[in-house]
Chains A and B, each alone.
Chain A
């Protein structure tokens, strides 16, 4: 039974991810007095891309072909480690938060290589910027996990969530509130949102993610876009489930599971709303201001840890 539930979780993350993108797009459209896409449009887009033929650059090598699979596979493997609507995950046992970070790094590694593979200036630009930003974001993410792990005395994602859920809410708020801020900033950075990257632009001055996938088309593009959406949902799920871990059942029972599913949808909607709100109200930062932004995440995570040290663990 738990197996079915775990598999369902994975399917849920993969299936729900485009909807989150839709939500933010729609929110942005409404704020600009546009109608915005229909709900199913995001899914139709993906399906269409999966069916379309591909044009591959003549310069590209096998790295270009492998990258979408590795990127998607790495993201899915990371998704399988995350508890979503119950306290377990299909592959939560296979590693810890460090593995989660490095699985995402694996996908990124191949994606940036593929961007260099076609020999265009756009690809190089996107690749260089992505690595620049991620090499600052990655230590901050690790530090956030360490800071939470210091409180929970475990680094496994499922373990962290269970410990936090068993704790009383006011202690969770105190101990991890700053880490929450850090992860929020990182969620924005990792999913390529304003103010770090503009997902709606095709202007070379501002592109990061879009510049990397510029040469992709058809099926590969679908895999990359979908993978990117899943990655975005992963970070939102981290925000929702690590920092608001209540109401998630640990055994299989129909009613709590359905309730938890609704709760999850609600939490993700709120998180997506926050991301969308920031996207509407802020301008994209200059590339060399982004390190300042990421430094804030790093410092928040460090403060969260230092605060726990000052008060004493478990006080």
Chain B
């Protein structure tokens, strides 16, 4: 096992560097980088699956130790293994996809450097989940942020990418400040840097300190995860990165924040408090609803996917939050189920969001636009991409028998299980939250019907869409692998759920006994209210469909099928402009949720002397970015104002600066004397 871990590291490091050997030949250099990432991903999947199945973690010890870090600073326990599995599993098809996709950059970009960043990005994510020490964790976290920043600004000649990169950089460092604060508080309480010490010390933390640490961790990791209202960087940065990177960022990187949040809540902060769960639920449902509502209004395919990532992070937070609430309401078995649902959704989201971003990447490389209003009819030109994107859309809309449904079902039941708790508030809000999650699921379906229907179906809306071409073979293989895994992760639920149950049992309860989550091919809710079996659903649907098809041919015989034009109301043919646009499609939703969107429209009308013969010359409609305008802009204004004021102490005289230093030093010395 330990050898596989080292192999993964070596593949990442060497593969990243080896690309430079063939600097002159981008094709080879790209191939080296992607294949080594692929190999690293496969070895990562092997050992993490092994650890998850056996339950025995591995610690990597280094003789002599490293200053400040001790002998053991990397360790893979079950929780780490799950997230390493997630990252490695996603990196395999993404690497295959990147083989073909990166051809875009040949001759335009420094391909070996891209390969280096790509490999180091993956490596840093793996390291984050393995770190057992503040230094290692923060270093890995910073490398992850930096490398992903460089990847976001790959297309730095585009000012939008630079702006997105800057926003990402600022937000992620603001988040890191909070994380560092949380660690510092833990360090000052326990006097150690190692995670094991935090865990051992958890029970002795004072409630006030615990609350502060929780708050810092929530804000810090919430920023990375894209939790609303700390999300504003996410819809800017994820779309600007190259598509394989977007897939990794949405599928895997934001999950490292979930990982860290889980470790903080359940390991470092010991017995959890009820209100943490309530806060998580609040942020969760807020992210779910606002995320999907903004996604619905997007016409940029990748931004739409980014907003939907916010929604899915919200679903994961709902699972975790409900877990915390249920633990503190003394329902450990339901809590186990809730956290397992969150973990399962994290894995599923990696699969279908990865798939969707790869599909969007394929569309982008085939048509060179992300604007769905310019697309249409791609299903004819790019049949494989279309089929894969449709699979991803169905999965993210939680349709049976795909994987999204299983985790959504589990989350719904986990929320509903709150009705068995004591307390009027939990019982009421658990059901309200469950139905709001249902609302979000239905809105997600609308959103992805729009995304797929406008981009892939109908008539092409622009020459770009008309001249679209299918991506290369490796791109297709990458997408198909993920599309199949969307089916696989759904149908294999009876195999996956017990593993997740065991893992979540380690987090939430001390019960190590077997809690029956499955029964044969059935997923069973431990409260006994319901069960579900996706293999059966799949089988029943397949059987009923074949019965229908057979019955039709037997009883009604074959019928003639003619091809004709679509009904054009007797006019002379349809033009693509007559189709519904993406904006038009979501108009009803925009209208009833206008309190959130605050839509604006501007019509400049021109008439030729007759008021009935009006020709709208110009039409503009948009929505108001609420969070940017109400939270971040005032903050930025305040910061600018403050800097303006602070300018006053900047005189330019070196003596004054020396004076500042001297006064500060004196003040510090006095402070230490007085406080001791």
Contact = CB atoms under 8 A, between A and B. Distances in A.
Interface of A: 47, 50-59, 61-63, 69-70, 72-74, 76-77, 80, 91, 93-99, 101-103, 105-106, 108-109, 112-113, 116-125, 127-129, 131-132, 134-136, 138-140, 142-143, 146-147, 149-150, 153-156, 214-215, 218-219, 223, 287-288, 291, 298, 301-302, 305-306, 309
Given A117-B457, A215-B566, A288-B592, A139 B548 contact: no
Given A56-B562, A58-B564, A135-B439, 14 more contacts: A54-B559, A55-B561, A59-B458, A102-B400, A102-B409, A106-B400, A113-B453, A116-B449, A117-B453, A120-B568, A135-B443, A154-B528, A155-B416, A302-B432
A300 B481 CA distance: 45
B83 to A, nearest CB: 28
A62, A128, A214 interface centre (most CB from chain B within 10 Å)? A128
A307 B400 CA distance: 32
B427 interface: yes
Contacts of B435: 139-140, 142-143, 146, 298, 301-302
Given A98-B412, A119-B579, A214-B567, A143 B559 contact: no
27 contacts: A50-B556, A51-B559, A56-B564, A59-B377, A69-B545, A94-B536, A94-B537, A95-B531, A96-B529, A98-B532, A99-B409, A102-B409, A105-B442, A106-B394, A112-B449, A118-B566, A120-B578, A121-B580, A124-B458, A134-B442, A135-B445, A135-B446, A136-B439, A150-B431, A155-B530, A288-B591, A309-B424
B199 to A, nearest CB: 37
B584 A77 contact: no
Contacts of A105: 397-399, 442, 445
Interface string B577-594: 011100011111101100
A99 B537 CA distance: 9
Contacts of A97: 530
Contacts of B555: 50
- Chain B, interface SS category: helix
B576 interface: yes
Interface string B101-123: 00000000000000000000000
A96 B408 CA distance: 13
A54 B452 contact: no
A107 B112 CA distance: 47
Contacts of B405: 102
A149 B556 CA distance: 43
A61 B380 contact: yes
B50 to A, nearest CB: 33
Interface string B440-465: 01110110011011100111000000
Contact of B459 (A51, A74, A99, A119): A119
B670 interface: no
Contacts of B400: 95, 99, 102-103, 106
Given A59-B566, A118-B458, A113 B452 contact: yes
A139 B397 contact: no
B580 A139 contact: no
B419 interface: yes
A63 B390 contact: yes
Nearest to A298: B435
Nearest to A54: B561
A73 B566 contact: no
A99 B532 contact: yes
Contact of B438 (A123, A139, A305): A139
Top 3 closest pairs, chain A to chain B, by CB: A124-B580, A119-B458, A96-B530
Interface in B361-402: 376-377, 379-380, 386, 390, 394, 397-400
A146 B431 CA distance: 7
Contacts of B399: 102, 105-106, 109
Contacts of B68: none
Nearest to A61: B379
A149 B457 contact: no
A19 B171 CA distance: 62
A91 B559 contact: no
B84 to A, nearest CB: 31
A101 B437 CA distance: 13
B431 A143 contact: yes
A101 B532 CA distance: 13
A113 B567 contact: no
A109 B431 contact: no
Interface in B272-286: none
Contact of A95 (B442, B443, B533): B533
Given A103-B400, A118-B458, A147 B442 contact: no
A73 B397 contact: no
B562 A69 contact: no
Interface string B657-668: 000000000000
- Chain A, interface SS category: helix
B457 A63 contact: yes
A203 to B, nearest CB: 13
B574 interface: yes
Interface in B116-159: none
B482 to A, nearest CB: 20
A146 B531 contact: no
A142 B432 CA distance: 10
B370 to A, nearest CB: 19
Contacts of A140: 435
B491 to A, nearest CB: 13
B600 to A, nearest CB: 19
A113 B530 contact: no
Given A55-B563, A121-B580, A287-B588, A109 B449 contact: yes
A61 B576 CA distance: 16
Contact of A56 (B445, B548, B563, B585): B563
A209 to B, nearest CB: 16
B69 interface: no
B564 A55 contact: yes
B566 A96 contact: no
A266 B563 CA distance: 45
A309 to B, nearest CB: 6
Given A73-B545, A142-B434, A120 B574 contact: yes
Contact of B453 (A72, A116, A125): A116
A153 B578 contact: no
A52 B559 contact: yes
A299 to B, nearest CB: 11
B559 A291 contact: no
B540 A80 contact: yes
A72 to B, nearest CB: 6
B458 A117 contact: yes
Contacts of B549: 69
Nearest to A64: B457
A9 B293 CA distance: 41
Given A50-B556, A143-B431, A138 B442 contact: yes
B560 interface: yes
Contact of A128 (B390, B537, B564, B585): B585
A58 B576 CA distance: 14
B15 to A, nearest CB: 39
B557 interface: yes
A106 B449 CA distance: 11
Nearest to A305: B431
B442, B545, B555, B567 interface centre (most CB from chain A within 10 Å)? B442
Contact of B548 (A73, A98, A131): A73
Contact of B559 (A129, A156, A219): A219
A131 B566 contact: no
Interface in B404-426: 405, 409, 412-413, 416, 419, 424
Interface in B497-552: 528-533, 536-537, 540-541, 544-545, 548-549, 552
